[in-house]
Structure 1
């Protein structure tokens, strides 16, 4: 029974750690694309939405765009990006930023370094709070089990 109070928080810490890694990797990719100076004209091939939640929970809808562009070397690249503006529709031309050795990690988002840093920072603080809660929970559980062992005959 005691293991439950350690295993579940450790699993949550692992998932949150993976989420933090993913957020940092995407922020690095977007920043690298903006800093590379390489741009291309891309066509929006498709837009679609995904939803999560429902039932008695809040429904969250995410807008996706699928873009296709050709690099300077002539390689045709197609990528999917979330969170783009709702004003871009199928057939629109947009400017994408990419890194020459990883064009599939391109972005159609206009450079906004402060917004990227603030969003990444807020998510990392949120993840850190979850990790601190899990560690605190495990510490309290450990103290309670020690106290219960001391009271047992």
Structure 2
């Protein structure tokens, strides 16, 4: 029984750590801050392309859009969108989300479920798996 309890605590701690690390990797705090803030119409001022390799070594072309918008305070902000896959051409407009206190961290990525909730979902799923495994361990031992 003690082994199962120790296992559960270690596994639950690992799930919480993993959830926080994944949240940071997916830029959850920045995205949630932008999505909970304000919106603006941004104009695409240019598109930069770069050649990269996927995990199998196949060359892939990625496009990064340069966007410019005006905050509610009248400040003009330019940024390069590296996260969202946009289908806009130079001169076209797209909605961006930004935090009033950090407009340079804006994103054109639309709000989605996973980045909003991954910091809770990963530990919850890991906790359920840890609990089931600990119950099985307690029954075997």
Task: Give the structure 2 partner of residue 107 of structure 1.
Answer: 107
Task: Give the structure 2 partner of residue 85 of structure 1.
Answer: 85
Q: TM-score, normalised by structure 1?
A: 0.54
Question: SS where residue 34 of structure 2 aligns?
Answer: helix
Structure 1 unaligned blocks of 5 or more: 1-18, 123-153
User: Number of matched residues?
Assistant: 99
Contact 2:31 2:115 in 1 (8 A): no
Task: Give the structure 2 partner of residue 63 of structure 1.
Answer: 63
Q: 1:105 to 1:71 in 2, by over 3 A?
A: same
- Relative contact order (alpha carbons < 8 A, sep ≥ 6): 1 or 2 greater? 2
Task: Give the structure 1 partner of residue 97 of structure 2.
Answer: 97
For residues 43-76 of structure 1, what are the alpha-carbon distances to aligned partners after superposition, in whole Å with 9 as ceiling and x for unaligned?
011112111239x922233220110001011111
Distance 2:62 2:90 in 1: 16
- Offset, 1:27: 2.2
Contact 2:23 2:115 in 1 (8 A): no
Rg bigger for which structure?
A: 1
Distance 2:44 2:59 in 1: 26
Contact 1:46 1:66 in 2 (8 A): yes
Q: TM-score, normalised by structure 2?
A: 0.59
Contact 1:96 1:107 in 2 (8 A): yes
Task: Give the structure 2 partner of residue 32 of structure 1.
Answer: 33
User: What's the C-alpha RMSD, in Å, of the aligned pairs?
Assistant: 2.8
- Offset, 1:85: 3.1
- Offset, 1:116: 6.2
- Offset, 1:83: 4.1
Structure 2 unaligned blocks of 5 or more: 1-20, 123-141
